[in-house]
Structure 1
């Protein structure tokens, strides 16, 4: 079986591409990266510098006609977490559209309009997708699952924390895979029981072994009309019905709470550090130390709003400095820059306390060293990229197993 052709949307600095191409079984035939809020397209510049400008699009995906997206076997992307509610156009009650600027609907449009639909989908998002929005928990994911089912895809998902499988960062993300009904893998999915697929036979469970908790599997049907689904899903503000693992096929969801099963070596924060080569300006000055200590510490204090309203504010303390003998905390987009912060990482060294370097942040996401290093790209921007990126090792593992399973069933 030759390599699978990939279309990479919301490409950022290329985490999906690195993971899939490193597995040796995939080749990216088209990519798109557009940052709506900035004039300079820094992530796209880094992407082109690393992978070349050929077949890379730096235009708002909402404005790219589907005819410009070449046929591909697998569509991948970490799309932005937004409000995915459904609206109808007055002119055409059948014409379902999401709100403008909500990029899930660009994926939906491409899948709808493609004559040759991609056989597989591999998507990623923050784990709160399973329980958003707060007034109708789970609605957004229900809308996605139903719309993918309507387009001919069965879906499996799992919330994966990279550190649970030996990777250097505690980063929880939901990964979901779609299989088009024309594929042999879909047919195998359909004849498995949901529990077998989630615990043994599925792609994600084969890549990242799991065990079920004592709880039973929950099953329910997602209604077909997307507008009424959007308006009426889980209206009583209860918990989301979506647990951390699940499948959806023909509108029926089966979902289960699972725990990771892993007992091999783990990478910890000290394993990724630059030893002795970290830049001088990463070190925290004596003058700034009290600010860092205050922000990282626990607080119980009275604060005032701009309008003069007083309220009691409290928060617990953070580990300060960060523990070197464990995987790191989740990297955030505001990790760069000198200003003291509650959430930036600070590590102890022989020379004193310092922040993490862009190189170390890349290693925490399992990117190659200096992947984002480019003239005109600041360290703060490089940190921002890593706060937005995914852990490449997770993609590589799922990609390798997906290819293997496709090969097995197509024999």
Structure 2
């Protein structure tokens, strides 16, 4: 099978770079990146600078693109926002998702192009959203995949638990057409065995044999609107949806390799502008515990609490999850004690790139330094995609 790829919500190219690190044979036939409400399309320019100017790398709102015009491909990849995926009936127009919700752009691409395989990334709270109807949003996604003839395996992966220098938890969703050789080879395999021995994630991301908890459900529904209105389920960090059934379990990572720590990605001779100087008390206060009395829109009084964040961040552990606000004056920004100078400072843009596994100065392509941090807060860990690429190489080589 040809290793043709379409990348949606491409950002600065984490999926592209990770797959290319696993094999030079991946051919990205189309990619889309668009930053709404921004005049400067910095992430797209970064993507183009690294992967070459290409008429099939598109800088346009995905909602305005005719999905039939996207080239045929065998693998669709992308990281997309966790949003409200509820749907409604709209008379003659049929099912309609909320305007602007980007899942429906993926769904419409799948309907138009029918790729054999799909690999998506999202924040792990997707499995529990929304709070008022736990699991509905992921249930809508699974129903969409099921209607289109896909089975799905998912896994929440904390990059630090597999040796990477950042405690970044994300859910990865691998979907495959039921008529692929890969799918046919799994016929008759128990769902538990699929997760633990024969599935997509187990080779590169091993888990213990022990199961903390598990759950299953018949996944029969009248329509996706039925799922949106009525479905609620507790999805755990691993699972399978196939043939009208869902099985999910809380798995435990098992990793015997080397672990990278925050100190392993630090630069030396860092510029003075990254040091805190006389601001230590303000930073210490921001990172301390808080209990604030608040009132909801309905008049309900409640206590908003925040736990303490280490100040400075320990460098003999993996870093915390990096956010888009990294380097700004807020409690989530990493502050370390520089081992060379003994003084406290922020991370540099290069160190943030290293936390996600990008090459040094990957985002040094003309964008502002602030936006370099923003891009890394949005990015995925490249090494995780490289590992998944190794498995995809085997799958594609075995397809007819």
Q: TM-score, normalised by structure 2?
A: 0.93
Aligned partner of 1:341 among 330, 342, 346: 330
Name the CA distance, whole Å, in 1 between partners of 2:225 and 2:284.
Answer: 50
Matched residue, 2:227: 229
Task: Report the CA distance between 1:301 and its aligned residue.
Answer: 6.4
SS at match of 1:374: coil
Say whether the 8 Å CA contact 2:127–2:235 is kept in structure 1: yes
Matched residue, 2:31: 31
Matched residue, 2:374: 384
Name the CA distance, whole Å, in 1 between partners of 2:109 and 2:92.
Answer: 22
SS at match of 1:335: coil
Name the CA distance, whole Å, in 2 between partners of 1:177 and 1:141.
Answer: 13
Matched residue, 1:109: 108
Say whether the 8 Å CA contact 2:212–2:252 is kept in structure 1: no
Aligned partner of 1:129 among 110, 116, 126: 126
Q: TM-score, normalised by structure 1?
A: 0.91
CA distance 1:304–1:125, change in 2 (3 Å):
closer
Aligned partner of 1:174 among 171, 175, 185: 171
Task: Report the CA distance between 1:217 and its aligned residue.
Answer: 3.5
RMSD: 2.0
Matched residue, 1:237: none
Name the CA distance, whole Å, in 1 between partners of 2:354 and 2:30.
Answer: 26
Aligned partner of 1:186 among 178, 183, 197: 183
Deviations 1:128-153 (A, max 9, x none): 00000110000010111111011011
Aligned partner of 2:283 among 283, 292, 297: 292
CA distance 1:241–1:378, change in 2 (3 Å):
same
Matched residue, 2:74: 73
Matched residue, 1:142: 139
Matched residue, 1:219: 216
CA distance 1:379–1:184, change in 2 (3 Å):
same
Matched residue, 1:62: 63
CA distance 1:192–1:320, change in 2 (3 Å):
same
Deviations 1:293-350 (A, max 9, x none): 1111234567899xxx99866533211101111110000000034xx32110011021
SS at match of 2:115: coil
| Equivalent pairs, count | 393
Task: Report the CA distance between 1:258 and its aligned residue.
Answer: 0.3
Matched residue, 2:95: 96
Say whether the 8 Å CA contact 2:312–2:344 is kept in structure 1: yes
Task: Report the CA distance between 1:45 and its aligned residue.
Answer: 1.3
Say whether the 8 Å CA contact 1:131–1:242 is kept in structure 2: yes
CA distance 1:182–1:38, change in 2 (3 Å):
same
Matched residue, 2:393: 403
SS at match of 1:363: helix
CA distance 1:27–1:300, change in 2 (3 Å):
same
Task: Report the CA distance between 1:73 and its aligned residue.
Answer: 0.8
Q: Where in structure 1 do 4 or more consecutive aligned residues deviate above 3 Å?
A: 212-217, 299-305, 309-315
Name the CA distance, whole Å, in 2 between partners of 1:247 and 1:214.
Answer: 15
Name the CA distance, whole Å, in 2 between partners of 1:279 and 1:32.
Answer: 35
Structure 1 runs not aligned, ≥5 long: 235-239
Name the CA distance, whole Å, in 2 between partners of 1:346 and 1:326.
Answer: 13
CA distance 1:182–1:356, change in 2 (3 Å):
same
